[in-house]
Structure 1
Amino acid sequence: MIIRRHPHRAAGAATGRAIRRTAATSVAGLAAFSVVAFGPLPGVSEAQPSTTTTPFTTPNTDDCPNKTAPPPPIDTSEVPEPGRTAPAALPIPSPPIGGKQLGGCGVILPSGAGPVPEGISATAWEVADLDTGKVIAAKDPHGRYRPASTIKVLLASVAIPALDVNKTVIGTQDDANADGTRVGIGPGGTYTNKQLFQALIMASGNDAAHAISTQLGGDEATVAKMNALAKQLQALDTRAATPSGLDGPGMSTSAYDLALLFRHAMTLPLFAELVHTEQVDFPGFPANPKDPDDKDHPGFPIANDNHLLYEYDGAIGGKTGYTDDARQTFVAAAQRNGHRLVVTLLKADVRPFRPWEQAAKLLDYAFALPGGASIGSMPDEAAKTPNSSVALASPPAHTDAEPAAEPESGSNNHELRIALMVGGTILVVVLLLAARRVSRRR
């Protein structure tokens, strides 16, 4: 499925979120008031709550179903191109990377820990200390799953040190034609590499991934560099098949590896800045000179796709992902009482809680455990990666002194529609009152 990100769907500013929530509540409240006061509107059916639900069961991985490879694909996305064969499964390290306990496939908890929160639909997950590398709790940590767009964390780790962030590039039709989620790069548009990284990390733009990988030598060369870095970091369950996270032959990662890759990416100050950024303005692109009806495409705001960033106190930032085969994937970090934790989810569902809500539950659980709780560790990648530091970069702090963001045109349009909905509901109520009064006079 090709998804086109509408340029005016971005809504990152806190003010805009508050307005939208208030307006939506007002609409719902007025609608409920009209039904209670006057009964159902003529010709309008009331929404009935569902009377049937499918019981939720946390996936059981005790028998290690994904020890060697991800679950079978449900589509043809991993069929090799003509003349090529699918790569063999990655070797299984022995002993397990990170410690003996991490070789288990079910839920693994430190001694004395209580049960994990209910409602975690992720088939595999992990919570670890971002600073020390200690793994605090996990489920099937080395089980192999598809990363979807969380693999962009690895792409960013390769590209940010390699590319000049201030260099400008011209968007191409090939960028614009990228499959999957696109931020809205257009042919002839002028973009700095920093803006491409914003689109990649904040909005998961596959068009941005294409523009970045082109500068790194093309998709095949970029994937080779990503896999070389994964191996160097001892993320040995990980193999990228595409730069963007679209499924391909041999694509694989694990909950353990994803935490490790995110921890490494957080040593890059630009990455730490962008995962924590809520909204930025993104450039437009010129009209197609071959199309007399086309017009210039103005710039637009883009917002961070990670809802944990907006909803969880102490959230540092993270990356979302989804494909039909990978399902919901997620990696994020948060800080509390001087401790910074990273949480990963693989092959999750949106029920009974959305991925960011499941991540919040696991973070709350891990923050409540004793400080020394551990079931394993992540290797110190700083000793293995040139020009990296074990000291993790801190995202920019928000302060009350920061000026409020000016509302964007797209946000204004959205809020205008909500205002009209509220006004329309009020008008319906007034008309119903008038009609009742006229009816009584007859």
Structure 2
Amino acid sequence: MISIPAVPAAAQERSVPAAAIRQKTDIPCPHPAVAKPAGIPPRPVPPPDDPVNSAVGGPALATHGLVVPAGAKQPPAVTATTWMVADLDTGEVLGGCGPHVYQTPASVQKTLLAATVMDKLDPKQTMTVVRGDLDIEVNSSAVGLVVGGKYQISTLWLGLLLNSGNDAANALARLAGGGGADGVAKTVAAMNAEARSLGAYQTHALTPSGLDGKGQFTSAYDLALIARKDFANADFRRYVLTKAAQMPAQPQLKQKGFQFQNENKLIFNYPGAMGGKTGFTTVARHSYVGAASRNGRRLVVTLLGAEAHPLRGWQQGAALLDWGFALPKGASVGKLVTPADVAQQNATTNARIESTTAAKSAVPSARASSSGGLPMMPVALGVAVVLAGTPLLLLLSQRRRKRPARKVR
């Protein structure tokens, strides 16, 4: 949820006309005609749409359907339930399908762990694995850490990002949280704070790894904000482009070393690939974050709730990247907000709240001095400011376009 003080629903409704937030009819997203596998567990019930948070980055993004620039070619049909393509450098959102719709993240949540703590841990530091680091769901993804084993932090990051090791996620989270029994919980709290600071208001983490948990959600838009911070980090870029890495032997534990591979096939098959992260759980289905560079442009694609047939997650990402690169520069339907946008909005809203509180506190003295029963103008003005000042800076932060965005059929 949004971190700034809540604005009454009535204020939200007055300041954000319903027509500007959500069209009556969403444009269906193109999907291939394939049957979903049987026996998929039900998805967690998401929170209700928030009319302000759903429009962060621009009102055109507040849709459960398709939104692309005017005149754009129809995007490829993919099984992903929601997706988005954006420019890592300019922040332009090139298009998407339900970009702010709540989804279950699976292992792409590890990108939020990286965005939160990668700069806080020395990659050359050696750590020792404890039993709690291996407290992960049975048969879930693990890179093969052993209790008592000694590993460099850089090896843990490789195990996390290449092999999606949930054991590595626990170890990194514990260390970043101080190394104690409450280290993971502290880091998860930091991840949620990081999401809010980025403007990723649909994101709420319960685990550092993305293993399913009740109330754990993200969105395609949020993942793009998180990826933008990750790809600004040179260590992250180096890790996710690594094709294979070596897990060191642990002779004191009679454990041999072994090699593990990068599961993101984009880096092996897509010209200009910059790397990314795959994800899967039986509840979330397939999720994917990937980025590539072409002709001076760096695009990121995020997708959630996909099936692996007829195309795997990375292949769906590649098809959407091709579509994005084919769009002319400047084509846009919205904007990725920045941490500076978020900080400015928080400061502005807090100032308005303080102003309104001060105005209300003046009511008793104003009444005592008034004999004519006239309206209390300071209070009325203060309330008007709040109603007019609903947090829309993030919504309106996109710059003017040469061509208006539209939802195409």
Instruction: Flag whether TM exceeds 0.5 (same fold).
Output: yes
Give the C-alpha shift of residue 257 in structure 1.
Answer: 0.6
Contact 2:54/2:61, CA 8 A, preserved across alignment: no
Give the C-alpha shift of residue 260 in structure 1.
Answer: 0.9
Give the C-alpha shift of residue 298 in structure 1.
Answer: 1.2
Partner of 1:109, secondary structure, is strand
- Residue 203 of structure 2 corresponds to residue 238 of structure 1: yes
Residue correspondences, number: 302
Provide the residue aligned with 1:117 in structure 2: 76
Provide the residue aligned with 1:369 in structure 2: 327
Partner of 2:55, secondary structure, is coil
List alignment gaps of at least 5 residues for structure 2: 1-31, 178-182, 344-409
Paired with 1:268 and 1:310, the residues of 2 have a C-alpha distance of 21
Q: Report the structure number with the largest CA radius of gyration.
A: 1
- Residue 228 of structure 2 corresponds to residue 263 of structure 1: yes
- Residue 242 of structure 2 corresponds to residue 272 of structure 1: no
Alignment of 1:65-214 (within 5 A): 74=41, 91-93=50-52, 96-118=55-77, 120-179=78-137, 180-214=140-174
Structure 1 residues 284 and 90, CA gap change in structure 2 (3 angstroms): farther
Partner of 1:335, secondary structure, is strand
Structure 1 residues 169 and 384, CA gap change in structure 2 (3 angstroms): farther
Provide the residue aligned with 2:269 in structure 1: 311
CA RMSD of superposed structures (Å): 2.3
Partner of 1:306, secondary structure, is coil
Give the C-alpha shift of residue 262 in structure 1.
Answer: 0.5
Structure 1 residues 94 and 310, CA gap change in structure 2 (3 angstroms): closer
- Residue 184 of structure 2 corresponds to residue 224 of structure 1: no
Paired with 2:277 and 2:115, the residues of 1 have a C-alpha distance of 13
Give the C-alpha shift of residue 299 in structure 1.
Answer: 1.1
Paired with 1:383 and 1:103, the residues of 2 have a C-alpha distance of 19
Q: Which amino acid counterpart does residue 332 of structure 1 have in structure 2?
A: G
- Residue 285 of structure 2 corresponds to residue 327 of structure 1: yes
Give the C-alpha shift of residue 167 in structure 1.
Answer: 1.3
Residues 3-60 of structure 1, C-alpha deviation per residue, up to 9 Å, x if partnerless?
Answer: xxxxxxxxxxxxxxxxxxxxxxxxxxxxxxxxxxxxxxxxxxxxxxxxxxx94279xx
Contact 2:199/2:338, CA 8 A, preserved across alignment: no
Paired with 1:89 and 1:216, the residues of 2 have a C-alpha distance of 33
Structure 1 residues 207 and 355, CA gap change in structure 2 (3 angstroms): same
Contact 1:189/1:283, CA 8 A, preserved across alignment: no
Paired with 1:94 and 1:213, the residues of 2 have a C-alpha distance of 28
Give the C-alpha shift of residue 91 in structure 1.
Answer: 4.7
Contact 2:67/2:333, CA 8 A, preserved across alignment: yes
Identify the match of residue 316 of structure 2 among 358, 368, 381: 358
Paired with 1:315 and 1:94, the residues of 2 have a C-alpha distance of 31
Paired with 2:190 and 2:55, the residues of 1 have a C-alpha distance of 24
Q: Which amino acid counterpart does residue 347 of structure 1 have in structure 2?
A: G
Structure 1 residues 195 and 137, CA gap change in structure 2 (3 angstroms): same
Alignment of 1:386-405 (within 5 A): none
Residues 87-141 of structure 1, C-alpha deviation per residue, up to 9 Å, x if partnerless?
Answer: 97685525710001001211111000121123x0000000000111100010000
Instruction: Give me the identity figure in percent.
Output: 43
Contact 1:189/1:286, CA 8 A, preserved across alignment: no
Partner of 2:263, secondary structure, is coil
Provide the residue aligned with 1:56 in structure 2: 34
Give the C-alpha shift of residue 202 in structure 1.
Answer: 1.4
Paired with 1:90 and 1:246, the residues of 2 have a C-alpha distance of 23
Contact 2:133/2:171, CA 8 A, preserved across alignment: yes
Give the C-alpha shift of residue 220 in structure 1.
Answer: 1.6
Q: Which amino acid counterpart does residue 287 of structure 2 have in structure 1?
A: T
Q: Which amino acid counterpart does residue 113 of structure 1 have in structure 2?
A: A
Provide the residue aligned with 1:48 in structure 2: none
Query: Mean Cα displacement is larger for which, 328-337 or 94-103?
Result: 94-103
Give the C-alpha shift of residue 190 in structure 1.
Answer: 0.9
Paired with 1:365 and 1:98, the residues of 2 have a C-alpha distance of 21
Give the C-alpha shift of residue 357 in structure 1.
Answer: 1.0
Provide the residue aligned with 1:298 in structure 2: 256
List alignment gaps of at least 5 residues for structure 1: 1-53, 59-72, 79-85, 289-295, 386-442
Give the C-alpha shift of residue 213 in structure 1.
Answer: 1.3
Give the C-alpha shift of residue 281 in structure 1.
Answer: 1.2
Paired with 2:33 and 2:298, the residues of 1 have a C-alpha distance of 34
Structure 1 residues 272 and 383, CA gap change in structure 2 (3 angstroms): farther
